[in-house]
Amino acid sequence: MAKSTHKKTGQASDNEDALEKKIRQQEILLSLSAEIIRIKNKPGLMTMIRETLGQLFTFSHAMVTLITKDREQWKTFLLDSQSTDQHHKQYKDLITFTYPIQDGIYNKVLETEGSVVFDLDELVATGSAPSHIVVQHETGIKEMAAITLICDNIQLGVLSFYAKTHGAFTRDARDIIEQIVGQVSLAVANVQQMEEINRYKQQLEEENHYFREANTTGYTYSDIIGTSEAMQKMFHLLGQVAYANSTVLILGETGTGKELVARAIHNSSPRKDKLMVKVNCAAMPASLIESELFGHEKGSFTGATERRIGKFELASKGTLFLDEIGEMPVDLQVKLLRALQEKEIERIGGKGPIKVDVRIIVATNRNLKKEVAEGRFREDLFYRLNVFPITLPPLRERKEDIPALANHFIGKYSRNAGRKEMSISSKAMKELMSYNWPGNVRELEHLLERSVLLTSGNVIKEIDLPVIYKNTVKEEKDYTKTLAEMEREYIIEVLKRCNGKVFGPGGAAAILGLRVSTLNSRIKKLGIKKETLIS
């Protein structure tokens, strides 16, 4: 009789333990609803899965894999970063893997109602297991339980749990998985939505920046000042290419207005209502240009604390202006060429290609043919960019435009300074016309801005030209040089400015209006050593 009583007492205790466990499970399951509302990002979602669900059944780690938008592939959405088995050389690559929709594992989960348990020893033994199963198995995983994530009657993907022992996913564990899958599905959908909102928010902030810039620089080519023959030829080319979708290569010395021309092309094109996004390839370290162009995912490299879209994506349906393209590192030129050919890019740390629709305008002050010959610029990229080249004339070759440019800048900076519109004396204008402007229109603009600020009256009577130029003028007044001396000094000055270049566009012969053979003869006769003039 005593034995029977003891047996009943033990059964009662077991029943009480089971009841308490059941009540505890229900409390945890009920708390999930409140937790899910607060989840805004992937770390929060993974913490909920690991810590909350880890109280209900035993597993090593979890993973969320989603179906891509085209419904043709699987892509890892969430991987437990605190898993104890990250030492595997390919383990972190799981986050970037993509798998065909018929991978033999996940598609079976989609076809099954409820949860499915897989024995990884058996899967790997077949020799046809997908890579994500092989990696998990090599880290010691023996069993996987998976279930379809569904939200609003749409299959989002698969939630999977992993264990290092066989038999870990009992019927009770699977019941819990089947109870919580609806709430986890909702949490995944919420995180996706928040990521999309944050992406659009970032894009809007970037677009607002460029729209503000565009509102202050809304040039068309009719706003570019110049009536010289050289400028008329350029205007003709602009009119031919502006409305097309062709890639444009703008060539010209520093300060000739390459960005102004790029904006004029964009603002005269069918893409004018979209953004023109500028990237200065010379203004940032080589290590950052790739991220600037293509964007990056959070955690893809040290310092990548958040996801960032690149300028290709930002310029979608608009124009991407790559200034100083000749400064781009050769290894990045390969990726740029691929983006132009395939019309798609991939973020650093990204999971797949992103289609882009942009018009490309590039500019450089370098001789790209020479850069190609010397191995600093890829030949295939040069031909891909050299579809419609436009060369901007230096200011010294269109001095007849200086009066109109000077009056424009004087008027602009008079208004900016809140002064009555100023003018320039004929003497000062002659000084402007006599100077050779190595810094081109930009140098003219900055010099006239300074002159406006330094002039007390309403007429600019003197121009603050560079000291070296004034000293040269003074020497000529104090000492009457022979014709040969003046010719020699002038040729040396031009050769220095051209970095010793004699022939071709921007060469000394073109600037001096001489045949190459004639100039070479004068250089030899005057004893000028070209090699000493190359910087």
Which CATH number covers residue 420? 1.10.8.60
Q: Is residue 72 part of a domain?
A: yes
Residue 419 has pLDDT above 90, yes or no: no
Q: Name which residue leads in pLDDT, 302 or 166.
A: 166
My answer on whether 402 and 274 are in the same domain is no
My answer on whether 20 and 87 are in the same domain is yes
Query: What pLDDT, in 10s, does the model give residues 333-360?
Result: 999 999 999 999 888 888 788 899 999 9
Of the residues 390, 417, 440, the one at which a domain ends: 390
My answer on whether 147 and 238 are in the same domain is no
Residue 397 has pLDDT above 90, yes or no: yes
């046809």: which residue's tokens?
128
Instruction: State mean pLDDT over 227-236.
Output: 92
Work out the number of other CB atoms within 10 angstroms of the CB of residue 10: 10
Most confidently modeled range among 98-102, 117-121, 470-474: 117-121
Q: Name which residue leads in pLDDT, 106 or 465.
A: 106
Query: Residue 103 corresponds to which tokens in the numbers above?
Result: 């991978």
- Give the separation between CA 467 and CA 470, rounded to whole angstroms: 5
Which pLDDT does position 422 carry in this prediction? 92
Q: Of 456, 382, 459, 397, which is closest to residue 424 (Cα–Cα)?
A: 459
251: left (phi over 0), alpha (psi -120 to 50) or beta: beta
Query: What pLDDT, in 10s, does the model give residues 361-380?
Result: 999 999 999 999 999 999 99
- Residue 437: give the domain boundaries: 395-460
My answer on whether 442 and 495 are in the same domain is no
Residue 382 has pLDDT above 80, yes or no: yes
Which pLDDT does position 310 carry in this prediction? 87
Average per-residue pLDDT for the chain: 83
Which pLDDT does position 125 carry in this prediction? 95
Q: Which residues contact 430 (CB under 8 A, 6 or more apart)?
A: none
Q: Is residue 107 part of a domain?
A: yes
Q: Name which residue leads in pLDDT, 473 or 443.
A: 443
Of the residues 334, 367, 390, the one at which a domain ends: 390
Q: What's the number of domains the chain is made of?
A: 4
Which pLDDT does position 318 carry in this prediction? 92
- Give the separation between CA 181 and CA 64, rounded to whole angstroms: 11
Instruction: State mean pLDDT over 231-241.
Output: 92
Q: Is residue 270 part of a domain?
A: yes
Which pLDDT does position 534 carry in this prediction? 60
Which pLDDT does position 106 carry in this prediction? 92
Of the residues 357, 390, 423, the one at which a domain ends: 390
One-letter amino acid of 13: S
Per-residue confidence at 410, pLDDT binned at 50, 70, 90?
Answer: very high
My answer on whether 228 and 189 are in the same domain is no
Q: Is residue 182 part of a domain?
A: yes
Lowest mean pLDDT among 57-71, 107-121, 207-221, 298-312: 207-221
Q: Do residues 348 and 291 lie in contact, with contact meaning Cβ atoms separated by under 8 Å?
A: yes
Lowest mean pLDDT among 58-72, 166-180, 221-235, 291-305: 291-305
My answer on whether 258 and 383 are in the same domain is yes
My answer on whether 365 and 279 are in the same domain is yes
Q: Of 533, 524, 469, which is closest to residue 498 (Cα–Cα)?
A: 533
Work out the number of other CB atoms within 10 angstroms of the CB of residue 493: 16
Instruction: State mean pLDDT over 212-216.
Output: 53
Residue 10 has pLDDT above 60, yes or no: no
Which CATH number covers residue 288? 3.40.50.300
Per-residue confidence at 296, pLDDT binned at 50, 70, 90?
Answer: confident
Which CATH number covers residue 162? 3.30.450.40
Per-residue confidence at 169, pLDDT binned at 50, 70, 90?
Answer: very high
Q: Of 77, 135, 42, which is closest to residue 351 (Cα–Cα)?
A: 77
My answer on whether 383 and 413 are in the same domain is no
Q: Is residue 472 part of a domain?
A: no
Q: Is residue 344 part of a domain?
A: yes
My answer on whether 144 and 55 are in the same domain is yes
Q: Is the pTM of this model over 0.85?
A: no
Per-residue confidence at 103, pLDDT binned at 50, 70, 90?
Answer: confident
CA 362 to each of CA 36, 224, 386: distance values in angstroms, whole numbers, following the listed order = 48, 19, 9
Most confidently modeled range among 8-17, 392-401, 417-426: 392-401
My answer on whether 383 and 416 are in the same domain is no
My answer on whether 179 and 69 are in the same domain is yes
Most confidently modeled range among 27-41, 107-121, 183-197: 107-121
Q: Is residue 474 part of a domain?
A: no
Which pLDDT does position 150 carry in this prediction? 95
Torsion of CA 412, 415, 417, 418, to 10 degrees: 180
Q: Is residue 206 part of a domain?
A: no
My answer on whether 278 and 418 are in the same domain is no
